[in-house]
Structure 1
Amino acid sequence: MASGDADPGTVRPGGRTARVRTAVLAAAGDALAEGGLAELDLADVARRAEVGKTTVYRRWGTPAGLVADLLADMAEQSLPRTETGTLLGDLRANARLVQRTLADARQGPLFKAVIAAATCDEQTAAALHRFYETRVDEWAPCVQQAVERGELAKGTDTREVIRAVSAPLYYRLLTTATALDEAAADRAAEAAAAAARAGVFTTGGGTVR
């Protein structure tokens, strides 16, 4: 199968094709942050990226297809997990990474737009789910390491712990006008760590004594 026939984001093309993808996704992110999915127009993205309209329409097809590839690229480019040697240290690093992303003048509005679009577009929703599954997969080993160190009970659902870290930060992003700061990130990490130690995320409700 030729790269032009593949689903967006499933290949890593080189040369000019890679440069076009980079330019188009950057332009799409800017447009999405400014106006949301409803205002995302492939011709406008092509103009911003300084590439031909035909190229954009042929490769991405629809605004939802463009958003799906944008999310795939964001997952690929996300920073790897930080390992500090303690559960709280690792969860705090994760929370601060999420906080910096959501507090960013471009990334924050972009995520708001994608989340809003995912409520009414199945392709965008699927892409968003894949993005977060990728990020949870990246950070879940930190929790498993805490289990192996004896910080957490066996049977702890590592993925649920990671989700519990970022959930309060997204809630604040979507429901308040309050700026997300490191204090909010640290509180989210501390709450998730305390709940994990109390056995909230274990199947049997066990705790570490």
Structure 2
Amino acid sequence: MQSDQLSARPVGRGAKVRAAVHAATLAELVDKGYAALSVENVAQRAGVHKTTVYRRWKDREILLTDALAEHMAMDIPVPDTGAIETDLRALARSLVQAFTSPTGQAILAAMLTGAAHIPEIAAARRHVFDDRLARAEPVVTRAIERGELPGDTDPAELLKTLAAPIYLRLLITADLVDETTADQAVRVTLAAAHAGALQTAHGDEPANG
């Protein structure tokens, strides 16, 4: 019994240190950007020695990848309001809220510009977005089962269509992004789905002559 208690203690300390270092990494990213991010400053902000950080993460790229993946993969509330329009509105508004915050903007900048060339960051980005799609797909499948969407609607394509105009404004045009943006994305997405433009791809059949 005593050995079990002793072995459990470091897990708690390790989890606490990991959370503190992740929080400090994101705070440094917000305050100084990716270019100025350093393990030394992260350690100082987290209140730990830099060797503690290096023991767990061998360089700042691995540290940043871990912190970003942890933050972005946090459970997002998957709405279940009973109607596809209100479900999609909740999803779109949560996306807007997440990426218009200072932390969200810093994460986007790091993942898509400053650190985008780092293979680990690119892999983390793909994992995070694939994970978010998978988590949200039940919103679409439930709507298909209720008869609110065509039966051959592709859940992934619908969710990408929902997110696309939001990311366009965030990353390309720098237009205002707010709840109006989210609500317009919902209207466009539902119109496309009802028009049959978001069907599951079956592959092109050769035409019979």
- What is the TM-score of this pair, normalised by structure 2? 0.85
Residue 33 of structure 1: which of 30, 35, 43 is its match? 30
- Judged with a 3 Å threshold, the aligned counterparts in structure 2 of structure 1 residues 37 and 114 are, in CA distance, closer, same or farther, namely same
Q: Which runs of 5+ in 2 are unaligned?
A: 1-9, 203-209
Deviations 1:8-66 (A, max 9, x none): xxxxx841111111111111111222333322211111111111111111211122211
C-alpha contact 2:68 2:107 (8 A) present in aligned 1: no
Give the partner amino acid of 2:124.
A
* Matching residue of 2:5: none
- Equivalent residue for 1:8? none
Structure 2: distance between partners of 1:81 and 1:157:
18
Tell me what 1:48 maps to: 45
Q: Name 1:157's counterpart in structure 2.
A: 154
Contact 2:61–2:120 (Cα < 8 Å) also in 1: yes
* C-alpha separation in 2, matches of 1:162 and 1:59: 36
Q: How big is the alpha-carbon RMSD for the aligned residues of Structure 1 and Structure 2?
A: 1.9
Please identify, of 128-137 and 63-72, the stretch whose mean Cα deviation from structure 2 is larger: 63-72
Shift in Å at residue 204 of structure 1?
6.1
Q: How many angstroms apart in 1 are the aligned matches of 2:126 and 2:115?
A: 9
The residue type paired with residue 163 of structure 1 is K
**Counterpart for residue 202 of structure 1:** 199
Which has more radius of gyration? 2
Assess if the C-alpha contact under 8 Å between 2:92 and 2:183 holds in 1. yes
Report whether the alignment pairs 1:106 with 2:99. Answer: no
Q: Using the TM superposition, give the Cα deviation of residue 118 of structure 1 relative to its aligned residue in structure 2, in angstroms.
A: 5.0
Residues 1:170 and 2:163 are matched in the alignment? no
1:189 Cα deviation from its structure 2 partner:
1.5
Partner residue, 2:12: 15
Contact 1:31 1:40 survives alignment (8 Å): yes
Q: Is the 8 A contact 2:153 2:193 kept in 1?
A: yes
Does 1:68 pair with 2:69? Answer: no
Matching of residues 182-201 of structure 1 within 5 Å: 182-201=179-198
How many residues are treated as equivalent by the alignment?
193
Work out the percentage of aligned pairs sharing the same amino acid: 39
TM-score norm. by structure 1 comes to: 0.85
- Range that drifts further, 158-167 or 70-79: 70-79
